[in-house]
Amino acid sequence: MSSSYLILTTIIIFLLIFLYISWIFVSNEMENKKETGERRDFLYTASYALGAVGLGAAVWPLVDQMNPDSSVKALSTTEVDISNIDLGKSITVLWRGKPVFIRRRTQEEIIESQNTKLSELKDPQKDQDRVKKPEWLVMLGVCTHLGCVPLGGKGDYKGWFCPCHGSHYDTSGRIRKG
């Protein structure tokens, strides 16, 4: 049994005991009309406060179970040494079982990608919107059409080529043809 369920059970038991004792005090107070309403107001306020704590304790495990476990968190990041990547070359690393392409672009590739007319693109997006640093392109290496892995250094635009349906990508990872 996990500790959160043990804590929840303990809080619920204390809550039930407190509510039962409060009910006894309130019913005794109703019989004894001489006492002021201050005691009753205190008991109501305390009951509501403890009820709110109990409700929070009951809801917490339900919300907590939606958080990813440690194995999923461990897969959420991947560290890559990019110091050995030469200009104009790419490497492929795995992240969550999917290929990630990391390309160190040359100055010519950067200029060509930045000067591409948006009207020539099927999905217009500026090069500046796709990269944080112009020299480095990092993208998920899965084709959006059928989920194939495009081949690097192939195609008409010096980027990638998808063998599944013939799409051509440029050095900014934008689809240009196919």
CB of 104 closer than 8 Å to CB of 88:
yes
CB of 4 closer than 8 Å to CB of 64:
yes
Given the residues 39, 96, 145, 165, select the one marked as catalytic: 165
Quote the percentage of the chain above a pLDDT of 70: 87
168 is catalytic: no
Residue 15 predicted with pLDDT over 60: yes
Q: What is the arithmetic mean of pLDDT over 84-112?
A: 86
> Whole-angstrom Cα distance, residue 29 to residue 40?
8
The residues spanned by each domain of the chain are 3-67, 73-177
Q: Residue 130 to residues 26, 44, 54, 133, 140: CA-CA distances in angstroms? A: 67, 59, 48, 9, 12
Q: Which fold has domain 73-177?
A: Rieske Iron-sulfur Protein (2.102.10)
Residue 35's pLDDT band, with cuts at 50, 70 and 90, is low
Query: Which of 73-82, 111-120, 124-133 has the lowest average pLDDT?
Result: 73-82
Residue 166's pLDDT band, with cuts at 50, 70 and 90, is confident
